[in-house]
Amino acid sequence: MAIVLGIESSCDETAAALVTAQGEIVAQRIASQDAEHAPYGGVVPEIAARAHADRLAPMIEAVMQDAGLELSDLDAIAATAGPGLIGGVMVGLVSAKALAMAGDVPLIAINHLEGHALSPRLADRDLEFPYALLLVSGGHCQILRVDGVGQYRRLATTIDDALGEAFDKTAKILGLGYPGGPAVEKLALEGDAAAVPLPRPLVGSGEPHFSFAGLKSAVLRAKESGQYADADIAASFQQAAIDCIEDRLRVSLDAMGEVGSLVVAGGVAANRSVRASLEALAEAHGMRFVAPPLALCTDNAAMIAWAGVERLGSGQSDPLDVAARPRWPLDPDAEPVRGAGYKA
């Protein structure tokens, strides 16, 4: 049975995992760098790269030992080759290249976003193409139509901040620390989502793109006004974000043509209120709703190994001189959008 080693190091999680062609996660390790970055309220690229370099090799050794495998037993080594913080990406990709060369095993360079995009098929082996994908993480906020491995049509992206970034900044404004998403979600449970009037940027616009910079500024003004309880701000922010997602998704679904399932992936997919609203939206559209378990939503190596399994299945691998890419859009044909902080 084919087995693929996956390596992830594009942001602040160092991870290694072994996944079979049947979608069994045989072994996995993951180390978060939250403690290292917490004093800065966000990920510091240089600290991240060093932490990946310290941790990755022993972690790969550990998963291989857990599974009782030698390098030569692997069918492929899949590593994130971008997009992401380039120092960290290099650590993972160079390690993968060295192991591929030493074990004479094919190398597969994975787009991190493709890892997220295909992870729901690892979680749910019945999920078939095509599906609508909402990809919401710290660095990305996109709506895609997924027609197959390597076949992605981007309908929407953010013209400024990603949704996870908006959660993280809201957390920072409220003094909740890093990472912000889970902290905002927890505090929101105690608040009134109607208490603070906040904008819903781009809601009602005919193009399905996202914008969260104005919402973030409004959160800052609400906090500085001293008029509102932090829990009410958190709850109102989360509701505003959810209203944006629902509206933008409706526009995208209308433009995308027939798809059977609505799928959510990326770190923000861990948010239970976001999930609940998406589930209701899918039901209203007569679609299946698929969300990977929480551990597969945030960055992990099993999704990278799985993307490797999918690529291997379609006969693909990469040369050992494949380059790491700080930017790497899933849909290179997507129309560029206006906005200063446009993210591919």
Identify whether the C-beta of residue 271 lies closer than 8 Å to the C-beta of residue 185: yes
Q: How far is the CB of 144 from ligand KG4 (least distance, A)?
A: 15
Strand partners, 108: 78
Considering only residues 131, 167, 210, 228, which one is a binding residue for ligand KG4 as defined by CB under 6 A? 167
- Pairing mode, if any, of strands 151-156 and 13-20? unpaired
Nearest-CA neighbor of 177 among 40, 338, 30? 40
Closer CB to Zn ion, residue 75 or residue 299?
299
Nearest-CA neighbor of 160 among 97, 244, 221? 244
Q: Which of residues 182-211 bind ligand KG4 (CB under 6 A)?
A: 182, 185
Supply 69's token pair.
Answer: 């495998």
Contact status: 137 vs Zn ion (CB under 5 A) = yes
CB atoms within 10 A of CB 45: 14
Contact status: 161 vs ligand KG4 (CB under 6 A) = no
Nearest-CA neighbor of 235 among 222, 217, 250? 222
Q: How far is the CB of 71 from ligand KG4 (least distance, A)?
A: 28
Supply 18's token pair.
Answer: 């072994």
Report the alpha-carbon distance of residue 226 to residue 122 in Å, rounded: 46
Residue 179 interacts with, from ligand KG4, Zn ion, none (CB under 5-8 Å by kind): ligand KG4
Contact status: 8 vs Zn ion (CB under 5 A) = no
Closer CB to Zn ion, residue 160 or residue 299?
299
Contact status: 75 vs ligand KG4 (CB under 6 A) = no
Q: How far is the CB of 342 from ligand KG4 (least distance, A)?
A: 16
Closer CB to Zn ion, residue 84 or residue 208?
84
Contact status: 160 vs ligand KG4 (CB under 6 A) = no
Closer CB to ligand KG4, residue 149 or residue 268?
268
Q: Which of residues 270-329 bind ligand KG4 (CB under 6 A)?
A: 270-271, 298-299
Considering only residues 181, 201, 292, 308, which one is a binding residue for ligand KG4 as defined by CB under 6 A? 181
Considering only residues 191, 267, 292, 308, which one is a binding residue for ligand KG4 as defined by CB under 6 A? 267
Residue 270 interacts with, from Zn ion, ligand KG4, none (CB under 5-8 Å by kind): ligand KG4
Closer CB to ligand KG4, residue 12 or residue 75?
12
Contact status: 137 vs ligand KG4 (CB under 6 A) = yes
Q: How far is the CB of 30 from ligand KG4 (least distance, A)?
A: 10
Q: How far is the CB of 185 from ligand KG4 (least distance, A)?
A: 4
Considering only residues 185, 299, 310, 318, which one is a binding residue for Zn ion as defined by CB under 5 A? 299
Number of amino acids touching ligand KG4 (CB under 6 A): 20
User: What is the Cα gyration radius of the chain?
Assistant: 20
Q: Which stretch binds ligand KG4 (CB under 6 A): 63-71, 97-105, 177-185, 209-217?
A: 177-185
Considering only residues 215, 268, 290, 344, which one is a binding residue for ligand KG4 as defined by CB under 6 A? 268
Q: Summarize as ranges the residues that interact with Zn ion (CB under 5 A).
A: 137, 299
Question: Which positions lie near ligand KG4, rule CB under 6 A?
Answer: 11, 137-139, 164-165, 167-168, 179-182, 185, 266-268, 270-271, 298-299
